[in-house]
Amino acid sequence: MKLNHYSNKLINNLATELRTQLIGSEVRFDEASRALYATDSSNYRQIPIGVVIPRTVDDLVKTTEIARRYEVPLLVRGAGTSLAGQACNVALIIDTSKYLNKIIKIDAEQQLAWVEPGVILDDLRMAAEQYQLTFGPDPATHNRCTLGGMIGNNASGVHSVTMGKTVDNVTALEILTYDGLRLWVGKTSENELTQLIESGGRCGEIYRNLKMLRDQYAPLIREKFPKIPRRVSGYNLDELLPENDFHVARALVGTESTCVLVLQAIVKLCPSPQHRVLLVFGFTSIDVAGDVTSAILPYHPLCIEGLDADMIDDMRKKSKQLRNLDLLPSGRAWLLVEFGGYSLEESVAKAQLLIKEVTFAVLDYRLLTDPVSQKQVWAIRESGAAATNSVPGEPETYPGWEDAAVDPHHLGDYLRDFRHLLDQYSYKSSLYGHFGEGCVHARINFDLHQPEGLRQWRGFLVEATDLVVKYGGSLSGEHGDGQARAELLPRMFGDELVQAFSEFKAIWDPQQRMNPGKIVKPYPIDADLRVGPNYQPWQPSTYFSFHQDQGNFAKAVNRCVGVGKCRRTHGGLMCPSYKVTREEQYSTRGRAHLLFEMLQGELLRDQWNTLAIKQALELCLACKGCKHECPVAVDIATYKAEFMAHYYANHWRPLQAQVLGKLPQLAYIAS
């Protein structure tokens, strides 16, 4: 659906009513705000209708009520780091990250936490650590991703080998449907299910239809759903089966804002091992590392993470984390194997037992027992998606096939076949990921700029899908389907189960207003591309050379891939203005997105005279924290100097700037 489907009159009336009704919340329909939310960390760009940042849950409910009257779609968004396009749409976007971020309660005895959807994962983990507990799933974005976003994507992370995916750690959800029903959902006994159906009304209708859906498709679900640790693609219809306690909350995990809005969640906490060690194995190749993974699993590590030499080589070319890289043992691929226990001695003993038993393919190893060294090595792994972007002398890489998952016992063979497929298409990619659960991340040099490149990309996606299905795997093992993979779901599940997904969504969202075009009845994979064949940015002359970006300001701005490290609220330099304001426009990513939209010229058309960009850049301290800490070295300080030089060529500088600029002359006169 395109933005021009909605008349200016309707949008203006919607904005007016939202501002009138939502006293204290923030309602933003200006071009700059919509530009900030037009993309996530994926290949996609869709201009939203507007943005609401609710201050209270009641205002979120009221926003939904108003949107329903105007029949506009809704999309609830957290940190905006999604890689499959599920966090951008032509919709009214509700951002929960600024205000709806309270940890309501922690019950250490029951090992449960009550949270609002905008709670940052690390904030919950730090609060839980007071009781030596943690929330198990921990993606690389743990210092900025929100619990609502994790529930939407069914996020996993490093430690899901022992602690499970988000779906395994959700006990109950308070939800709101687009048509206004507010209720708590969780596991449901057969007696409770009967009572809920007999209660009638909209609630009874939902449960009756869910039961009918389960009964109709149960045999197919049991037959077709992959029996692997990291099946994230599709809806969690298996959670409705009797053996899974008809767990409605868990069935809604991973629905990517396509079914309901999450108002509150009760999540499980688990013991947090206080003493950890990191065993790093070096191998000759990544597929050999994949072979060894299954031999490590019986030793019950907390995690098994893999990474290859291509990622490390790219980081060296970018002079990133050079001191940390020296901690890796020799090899062309590595496994990071973590053990934990009640004492350091216990953890070391577990690691040493593995060292004795798993030596048949290991080139070298290092056992890191001090927290500082372990943190340095984890920083390498967490660079992940951005580590292979903006590498000098190399073509750009993109998501689009970056988190397939197979049975970890067949991982080595899958990696060989996948590498062969990459070679067939003349693609290059680093390979890394959560090897303990068979999830492989890739960042591939697709050509998304030319029609022929898109045709090749489509052909590759079909073959890559068929390869994963051959191994009984999942198209997504972590990042979700969104727009990037939803079109391919019939090849994985078959048409009948895809129809079941459509029916599941219709039970919750009969008007098809929740994040339309994602997962169910999806937009085409090659539509709405951020930098597709129609991308023709303005190419202004610049004062700075931008030599590392081929002298191209647009390429410099496009370094930002949206991973959002600049949105963290604790630690590091980047980004001080965001830490204080919690405003996207004052993050490194937000400023880069505004400059991208200026060069795009669709929303922001005043080029160097764009006031919104000037205002966003004014709070930049030019500390260079972004250039140092951003995985792709986005240099907002330089971009600010470039923009301001052009802006003030046409505008009066502030009085204080003029005075400071003339200090040498004034000092001479005063002397």
| All domains in the chain, ordered by first residue | 3-98 (3.30.43.10), 103-271 (3.30.465.10), 275-446 (3.40.462.10), 547-655 (1.10.1060)
* pLDDT tens digits, 624-664: 999 989 988 999 999 999 999 999 999 998 888 888 888 88
Residue 567 has phi, psi (to 5 degrees) of -95, 0
- Number of C-alpha atoms within 13 angstroms, CB side, residue 289? 32
pTM: 0.95
Contacts of 399 (CB under 8 A, 6+ apart): 41, 42, 43, 83, 84, 385, 443, 479, 484
* pLDDT tens digits, 339-381: 999 999 999 999 999 998 887 789 999 999 999 999 999 988 8
Specify the higher pLDDT residue, 655 or 441: 441
Cα(237)–Cα(239) distance, integer angstroms: 5
Strands 404-405 and 439-444: antiparallel
Helix (H, G, I), strand (E, B) or coil at 534: coil
8 A C-beta contact, residue 183 and residue 508: no
8 A C-beta contact, residue 620 and residue 574: no
8 A C-beta contact, residue 384 and residue 81: no
> Residue 117: is its pLDDT beyond 90?
yes
> Residue 95: is its pLDDT beyond 80?
yes
Helix (H, G, I), strand (E, B) or coil at 78: coil
Q: List beta partners, residue 267.
A: 113, 170
- The chain-wide mean pLDDT, for the chain, equals 95
* pLDDT tens digits, 46-79: 999 999 999 999 999 999 999 999 999 999 999 9
Cα(229)–Cα(232) distance, integer angstroms: 9
Residue of 585, 561, 566 whose CA lies nearest to 576:
566
Cα(116)–Cα(58) distance, integer angstroms: 12
Query: 329: which DSSP letter?
Result: P
Question: What integer pLDDT is reported at residue 359 of this predicted model?
Answer: 77
* pLDDT tens digits, 237-273: 999 999 999 999 999 999 999 999 999 999 999 999 9
> pLDDT grade, residue 316 (50/70/90)?
confident
Helix axes 8-21, 57-70, angle to 10 degrees: 150
Identity (one letter) of the amino acid at 608?
W
Count other C-beta atoms under 10 Å from residue 244's C-beta: 14
> Which ranges constitute the DSSP H helices of 180-337?
190-198, 201-224, 248-252, 286-296, 309-317, 322-325
Count other C-beta atoms under 10 Å from residue 87's C-beta: 31
* pLDDT tens digits, 528-575: 999 999 999 999 999 999 999 999 999 999 999 999 999 999 988 899
